[in-house]
Amino acid sequence: DVKVTQSSRYLVKRTGEKVFLECVQDMDHENMFWYRQDPGLGLRLIYFSYDVKMKEKGDIPEGYSVSREKKERFSLILESASTNQTSMYLCASSLPGYGYEQYFGPGTRLTVT
């Protein structure tokens, strides 16, 4: 059974804290994605990685960075958390190239107070 796991389902952090969201996939996929989902909006791409140490900015990268040191793990980093980063964060992976279905993790609901 293919799986994408995320380190936490719920997380509460204070403004200014450094936050790490971890994602691990067991399908040997090259592509990995980080999205956020907010009420009334579709999933929005924060960052994309197509290989180890390779990354591309998505539509809303400001305030975030990513790390991919191993193929199976893709980390999202909030350098200094702010209240407007309170959101649901979803990680996904897919085969290389474009158009392949994405496999999603269960999401992390982050609250920044």
Partner 1 sequence: ILNVEQSPQSLHVQEGDSTNFTCSFPSSNFYALHWYRWETAKSPEALFVMTLNGDEKKKGRISATLNTKEGYSYLYIKGSQPEDSATYLCAFTSGTYKYIFGTGTRLKVLA
Q: Rounded to an integer, what is the distance from CA 84 to the centroid of its chain? A: 16
CA-based end-to-end distance of the chain: 37
Q: Compute the distance between CA of residue 60 and CA of residue 49 in angstroms, rounded to an integer.
A: 15
Task: Tell me the closest approach of the beta carbon of residue 16 to partner 1, in angstroms.
Answer: 30
87 contributes a contact to partner 1 by CB under 8 A: no
Binders in 18-47 for partner 1, by CB under 8 A: 31, 33, 35, 40-45
Edge-to-edge strands, sheet with 4-6: 4-6, 19-25, 73-78, 64-70
Candidates 26, 51, 59, 79; binder of partner 1 (CB under 8 A) is 59
Residues near partner 1 (CB under 8 A) are 4, 31, 33, 35, 40-45, 48, 50, 56, 58-59, 90, 98-107
